[in-house]
Amino acid sequence: MIAHIKELSNRRYQWLNDANFKNGVALCQSIPGATAMQMAAYVGLKTRGISGALSTYLGFGLPSFIIMLIFSRLYTRFHNISKLIPLFNGLQVIVVAIIFYAVYSFGRNIVTNSKSMIMALLSALLFWLGISPFIVVILAGMAGMILYKGLISRNVRDSIETELQSSNKWGILICFFLFLLCFAGLYFFNHRIFNLAGVMLKIDLFAFGGGFASLPLMLHEIVISRGWLDSKTFMGGLALGQITPGPIVITATFVGYLLYGLSGAFAATIAIFTPSFLVLITIEPIYDRLKNSLYFMKAVDGIVASFVGLLLFAGFKFLMAVPWDIVRIFLGLAALTALIYKIDIPYIVLAGAVISIFLL
């Protein structure tokens, strides 16, 4: 998706040059949230300010939200029909293959030395011992700062203050105020939906490293800690999230719809995307200066390395939820092989669905 965004913004419409786009990718990989969604907002921010960022953010996410709403409605109506049960059983296998491929593709660019490998394995161990992944992420950030010592200079601090003063700080403050006002109003509208939104907000704020980083956090909050959905239902939502033309965190729409219907879907979706948007418009004016802080950059390195371990644990958790047999093993290996050879995920999911209907 980032490659398509670059084609549109740099070559077709010439909104950004290559240097600006590259800087945007580095920024979006350093802050929480789905990277492609953040890049869409970044293009709008650099082109038309905060209003442009909001427009591109909504434009990028709206199609996948609508499609996921339709899928969620169909799931609630038909997932227990006997003829469709094999379909969802097969999709669980595809999800396992996708998660382990994500561990491989996510980890090979991050776990490049002994320190990051230790960070990833320790994170997986702590998660397995029952430690909250949010605590693991905080500890990983602190460990990153300790392992890679560095101090932001006075000149950098002064530059940050200057950039903040020259940025559209009133627009940023208005965005924060409106979000807090809506969030507070949700408490009086429906306390249960307020709790759902709070969970999604927390997931988004801690999901460093892109959309897949949110999966172990969702697994912990929705399945393990609160028991809102069981593993099989959650895996069904992940599979549907892979079919939609957008970030995998759109699974939040599925979760919200199954719990509280249309209002839950809206609340969960807004909560899973808004915090990272606010972080983007706040950090972007000072990012050129902030990235000179070794504390900041190495904390991000430690956090992202921890998500490799958390994602690995999530993969094994999903692995154990599947009743494996010869057909499922074959289907899982075939899906993993297709992913390695760069076949698009929607095609793999659809092919797996067809195979499941006839063989499971």
* Residues 247-263 pLDDT 10s: 888 999 999 999 999 99
Instruction: Kindly tell me the number of DSSP H helices and DSSP E strands found in the chain.
Output: 16, 0
**230, part of any domain:** yes
Is position 54 within any domain?
no
Contacts of 72 (CB under 8 A, 6+ apart): 237, 240, 253, 254, 257, 258, 265
Token pair 């700080």 is at which residue?
169
CA distance 276 to 38: 8
Distance CA 234, CA 238 (A): 6
Residue 50 counted as domain residue: no
Q: Which residues of 21-53 are buried (b: 16+ CB within 10 A; e: fewer)?
A: bebbbebbbbbbbbbbbbbbbbbbbbeeebebb
Distance CA 61, CA 63 (A): 6
**Of the candidates 223, 219, 217, 211, the residue with the CA atom closest to the CA atom of residue 276:** 211
Number of domains forming the structure of the chain: 1
Does some domain include residue 143? yes
Q: Residue 94 falls within a domain, yes or no?
A: yes
Highest mean pLDDT among 174-183, 199-208, 257-266: 257-266
- The type of residue at 43 is V
* pLDDT tier for residue 83 given thresholds of 50, 70 and 90: low
Is there a domain that residue 23 lies in? no
Written as one string, the DSSP assignment of 175-233 is HHHHHHHHHHHHHHH-HHHHHHHHHHHHHHHH-BTSGGGHHHHHIIIIIIIS-SS-HHH
Q: Give, in order, the Cα–Cα distances in Å from 103 to each of 40, 186, 314.
A: 25, 36, 10
| Residue 278 CB partners (closer than 8 Å, separation 6+) | 172, 175, 176, 179
Question: Does residue 39 form part of some domain?
Answer: no
Work out the average pLDDT over 33-53: 88
| H or E stretch at 49 | helix 35-78
Confidence of residue 65 (pLDDT cuts 50, 70, 90): very high
Name which residue leads in pLDDT, 186 or 324: 324
- Compute the CA torsion angle 33, 133, 237, 340 (nearest 10 deg): 80
Domain that holds residue 286: 63-359
* Average pLDDT estimate for 75-91: 72
Confidence (pLDDT) at 156:
43
> Is residue 104 assigned to a domain?
yes
In the beta sheet, which residues pair with residue 208? 32
Assign 55 a pLDDT band (cuts: 50, 70, 90): very high
What pLDDT does 81 receive? Answer: 59
| Per-residue pLDDT at 168 | 65
Q: What number is the average pLDDT over the span 82-105?
A: 78
Q: What is the secondary structure of 65-89 as a DSSP string?
A: HHHHHHHHHHHHHHTTSTTTHHHHH
Q: Helix (H, G, I), strand (E, B), or coil: what is residue 14? A: coil
> Considering only 151-160, 282-291, 342-351, which range has the smallest mean pLDDT?
151-160
* pLDDT recorded at residue 268: 94
The mean predicted confidence, pLDDT, of the chain is 82
In sequence order, which residues have a C-beta less than 8 Å from that of residue 244 and are 6 or more positions away?
63, 64, 67, 68, 71, 250
For residues 35 and 2, is the Cβ–Cβ distance under 8 A? yes
Considering the chain, what percentage of its residues have pLDDT values greater than 90?
16
